[in-house]
Chain A
Amino acid sequence: MESTEELQFSDDEEEVTAETVLKTLQSAWQNERLSPEILPHQNDMVECMLGQIQHMERNINKLSKTDLRTSIHKMEISRIKFIICNYLKTRLNKIEKYCIPILNQERQRIETDTNYLTPSEYKYAQEYVLNMENHMKNVVLNKMPGNMQVFEMNKMAEHPNLQTHVFLKANETINGVVLEDLTGEDEEIDLEEGSQHILQYKPIADLLKNGKVTLL
């Protein structure tokens, strides 16, 4: 039931179908929900999808109301909207939970131009931390004795737990994933294409960001 309209991007030379955008968005949503830390943003996909939705809504309004196609398309639109909303919401929740480490990492990454957050998300995160700091200061810290008044960012920060285990599926053959053991031994394993594993998140974090691995 995917719409198979074809889009032509003015800056890209290739034609990207709406179907591929939806598929990438779906896998991005899945990965974002299952991973413990925030992943690079897919804002282009989101915006493209939103444009598509607008287009579809306009088309639907032209058709007659009792047509079977309107209800099917409406269902599809509401499903896509849900995916987008949920994706953005999970990202917001992660930003709010891990705001201080994320801001620190983002400051380093801005220099290398590999942002994980969209500009609006970055602004949101900064405002949020500022808000929280002011709130704490006004309510509590200003009334405490002198040397306690500092709002210690590092102590308030909550770091994402990179050691959680995740289910993953390898999209390509990957050689040499190094797993750290508690006893200090490093075990190196190979992942075959299409195989499924349960691993700690940390070794495969980079692979997830490159798209070589998907979380299940």
Chain B
Amino acid sequence: MHLLFKLNMNDANATTENRSLWTTVQVRHSALERNKRCILAYLYNRMKKIKTLRWEFGAVLPPDIRELLSDDEYQWFSKYSGNLALYMRSLGQDIGYSGIDLTENLKPPKSLFIEVLCVVDYGKLELEDGDVVMLKKNSRHYLPTSECQTLIRQGILKQIM
């Protein structure tokens, strides 16, 4: 783009004396503008995809995705994550709530308990009411939905239809 620009500048200066080079200047300028728009559109779409990643994976990205992002994009991602966390914390602050996690509850709840199959060895899981469940590979459990949501998204549990 710089090359095009330099050529354009030279011609622009030259046209003050000679009108015939006007069209080249215009054509090059529109080419420059088009390039700029294309680049910005590409970047914007990447941003959108990274945003969906944040909602799917949470604030920590798995390493194989992490290496696909450039450094700038990773910086943007961490800033976006921070912004989102700040907003979520500010929800309900007036009544003393510690904030709602908006990334949960992505689908309307169908039942209170769901049956899950453990895919990897996770170890002990403590439920809200104090029961401790041992999560070993290929073990089936009947657990409350709210507990399972995060684990399902991380890939540790798998829902059995």
Contacts and interface: CB of A to CB of B under 8 A. Distances in A.
Asked if chains A and B come from one complex, the reply is yes
Interface of A: 46-47, 50-51, 54, 65, 71, 74-75, 78-79, 81-82, 84-86, 88-89, 92, 96, 120-121, 123-124, 127-128, 131-132, 134-136, 138-140, 144-146, 148, 156
A120 B80 CA distance: 15
A71 B104 contact: no
B44 to A, nearest CB: 8
A71 B112 contact: yes
Interface string B83-113: 1101100111011010010101100110010
A79 B109 contact: yes
A59 B142 CA distance: 25
Contacts of B47: 132, 135
Contact of B91 (A74, A120, A134, A146): A120
B40 interface: yes
A96 B51 contact: yes
A85 B72 contact: no
A139 B91 contact: no
Nearest to A71: B112
Interface of B: 1-2, 5-6, 32-33, 36, 39-40, 43-44, 47, 51, 70, 72-73, 75-76, 79-80, 83-84, 86-87, 90-92, 94-95, 97, 100, 102, 104-105, 108-109, 112, 129, 145-146
A136 B43 contact: yes
Contacts, number: 98
Given A78-B146, A135-B76, 7 more contacts: A78-B109, A82-B108, A86-B105, A120-B91, A121-B87, A144-B2, A145-B2
A85 B104 contact: yes
25 contacts: A47-B92, A71-B112, A75-B109, A79-B108, A82-B109, A84-B100, A85-B102, A85-B104, A85-B105, A86-B105, A88-B100, A96-B51, A120-B90, A120-B91, A123-B87, A128-B80, A131-B79, A131-B83, A136-B40, A139-B70, A139-B73, A144-B1, A144-B2, A148-B5, A156-B44
Nearest to B70: A139
Given A84-B100, A86-B105, A124-B83, A140 B95 contact: no
Given A65-B129, A120-B91, A124-B83, A131 B76 contact: yes
B21 to A, nearest CB: 18
Given A74-B112, A85-B105, A47 B36 contact: no
B92 A50 contact: yes
Given A75-B112, A145-B1, A156 B40 contact: yes
Of the listed residues A65, A79, A120, the one surrounded by the most CB atoms of chain B closer than 10 A to its CB is A120
Contacts of B75: 135
Contacts of B39: 140
